[in-house]
Structure 1
Amino acid sequence: MANGRVERRLAVIMATDIVGYSRLTEADETRTLDTMKRLQTSILAPGITACGGRIVKLMGDGTLVVFNSAVDAVDCAISLQEALACDQQEQPTEDRILVRIGINLADVVIDGDDLLGDGVNVAARLQASATPGGICIADVVHRQLGAKCRSAFLDGGEIALKNITRPIHVWHWTDAPAIGPAASQACARPSIAVLPFENLSGSPDQTFFSDGITEDIIGGLARFRSLSVTAASSSFSFRGKHADMREIGRKLGVTYLVEGSIRRAGERIRITAQLVEAASGAHLWSEHYDRSLTDIFTVQDEVTRTIVSTLIGQIETADLRQVLRKPTTSLAAYEFYLRGLVHIRGYEPDDNQQAHAMFQAAVDRDPHFALAHAYLALAIIAERGYGNAPTDVLDQALALARKAVSLDEGEGGCQRLLALIHVNRREFDLAERHYRRAYLLNPNDANTLVQMGGLFARRGKLDEAMEWINEGFRLNPFPPPWYNAALGNALYILGRYEEAAAALKELPNPGPFTLARLVACHAQAGNTAAAEETKTQLLRVCPDFSTEGFIHRGLLLERDEHRDLFRQGLLRAGLPK
């Protein structure tokens, strides 16, 4: 800058970036680089020049471009995305080159041929917020557009951008080409919009309550970082518009929609919620909740948390069913992760081994996939007997779980799984610390509640244990079988042996440790016949079973008196010492 003078000008800045560049080059570096050069020569550079833009610099797999006009910049971005989508449509989904584009209008600093300043940084962050194949523009750019062009963008509300102190109001291009789950975890994760719940009470002043329920559900879902949730400002734009659900889903660019209604009659209220698959319009789940309005805000909180937790379970189930229909060879990181979830929750002899392979494949394809690292840690110890795993395996799992947290400190699931690794390492203080962090990040995650309750039972805090476990069951009306393992353990320590046995019987294909607990339950309850039958089954699958071996290897309990309680039950059943 000559003579120290800082030259500034108002400019429209466009930042572009290739999605999943590292993954693409790792898979086939030569083909990826050749394709990038071809696209740069045949589509990007000519398209930018034709719209009056100037390429300021190429940044690895990205480009910084300056325009004098917001209209020209947006027209250019749309034409580029359409041309790229057309060019790549014949490519396999996992091999497609997809580009994100962000556009900002701001005062910038001119440094020779380069542009500097906060406005450039914002453009780069807007690019990172765009969907693969999509465009994200600042509100100041949107206001410069004509009515027709403005309608091609959907209000994304105010969002926080990394290293930018103030929130930025953004808009997203609604006609981004549909893509498969190839590029990355970000483009693969399921997306959902919650439409404003309909007020059926006949009283306009009750709209505040229906809107409150809607916004609370949106906020609750947004805590699950594996889910992309449309901002309230966008979903509320469909209030009173009786459009086809498939059309709404297309315009919002989401996989799932939630709709519902609220009807108040005297001191009673009925809330109905439904989950809809946007592409087909099919209803995947529906439920209604009848409550007394003794405390309207308590009711609102209770119903919201239940709906959110149930929705997560239903969405996950639908995604798992969808991915299992696809051949394994076509899967990218997120879908390998989903297959891993199926196996880690299974009870077949090779499920833990299969889970290990699936999560490893997910990590190999996306080294920054935090949850895949966390579940890989779990699969590694599950394959080797959880707390009985060798020290080096437990150390490897701890390193993976810590890496998962470092990759995404705000993901409650990573904190929860790190806590679970600490439980299996018998590091109960550390486990409790990370469970509490997981809960603070996402109090709607029923898995965290049940696992925290399981930890409290292991530590002898039995009243707290049952509170957490019962709340987890309430929030997740369709729980996975492992919830019953935590419940059964707590009930046994409380001396509620028949209830503990009933819970443990919910576990499919029980292994020796579960069978040993069942033997102890039946023996302590005085059910001699059931104890003898289960003991026979246990010795059939584990002929060399010993009570002391089980106490030291199969129980992760902090208090000696609770270990003695299991010892008494096993010896009472006549099992070898």
Structure 2
Amino acid sequence: LLVVIGQFIYFNFFRKDSSGNGGEKSIAVLPFENLSNDVSQEYFSDGVADNILNELSKIQGLKVCGRSSSFQYRGKSIDLQEVGKKLRVATLLVGSLQKHGDQLRINASLIKVEDGYQIWSHQFKKDLKDIFAIQDEIASTIAQKMRVTLNGSGLREESLEAYELCLKGKYYYNKGVPKAVDTAKLFYKSAIELDPNYALAYAGLADCYRLSIRDSSLTINYSLKALSIDSTLGEAWTNIGFVQSHLQRDWAKGLKTLNKALRFSPSYSYAHLFRGNVFFFNGKTKEGINEIEEAINIDPLSVFLSHVLARSYFMSRNYEKAINQANYTLKLHSKYEFGWLWTALSFIEYKQYQKALETLNHLPDDDHDVFGMFPKLPSLSYVHALLGNTHEAEVILEKDILKHPKNYFLQAYVYIALKKYDDAFIKLKVGVEAGDLWATNILLDPRLDPIRSDPRFKELIKLMKFDPSI
């Protein structure tokens, strides 16, 4: 009942218009141009824009474009109207920053996309110690100009050194590759050493550990520490909701936490994404896809969100849409692994096996880790099994088992195609118990269809703890 009430409140009072036309109250914060003549200062100009974006994203009734989309325009010569159209917003915040020693010069302008009209512009010449006040002033001025209410009391004044370390942490985290994320952790930890009550540094660490999937206890612990200092951090609530639902499989509790995250940060695309996943994995495919589309409406150029939508179409058996969305994903990033994977898997369902093999060859080498998975070898083996090339399928599968023993579900699909159902169930059970990410799709995945009537499959479903009340 509490979950139902929470959903009612969220949809009726907090959910934004998702029509995709931007609307009057929508904004993208573009990365501030670094005028410091020092590329090593890019983290600072990025970080200031990022902090303003995060403050604005807390506002109910204001759609704020996600960072992964708006920051794609760093260092590019752009047409503001074209950018606004692609980002689905009505206004843009553009700016530049020059840092010289302890002196700052920041130019910021609020631009109306439709006609290029400059709604507001200001130049700040201040000491570095005034950076917190400058960020607050820009965010509050935008809120005033757009006739919305800025939530909270603004950014807490931190130690300047800790603040810069935190900006460096976020700069490396946003690179998204494991080595850079490890570097981000070091910067966040250094910031905490200087300021043990720095909530954003703890929240940043939680983000880093969420990416590694296997460090769920650290994700929870750092998120809780951040919230003990600042209970309004939507990103921290999102991380907790992700672990509760996706990893601990307490779906209702996770959904409740994600609803709370969206009350504090209604424009946080990952809260919408994980909320959509909760619905989707529990069999509410329409509701799930709607929420994932809302995440994309906020962050329309995110390659990760685009691939998740392709996955959702594939798992809900709409293979034509899956291929189209996967192709769009590849337009955003031509080497993105899951763009090729969802295309290949959809070709398989159409029994276009040769096309599937050709597509799988676009995947990186078989030692490439994609979110803790190594999809190339078992996917190739799966196609050969379906083609009746049993020997070749088994040779590739054995190679994958030796190299990647934790590819539980990916290897189980091959056993199913080979009709070795006992072996498949052994892999599936271990995968469910180990938290294999493919297990979350177990209600929907077409590759599991041949074994759905087996009583052992029903036992696997029980282990996933899906919640019919969602």
Normalization by structure 1: what TM-score? 0.41
The structure carrying a bigger strand percent of its residues is 1
The structure carrying a bigger helix percent of its residues is 2
Indicate the structure (1 or 2) with the bigger Cα radius of gyration. Answer: 1
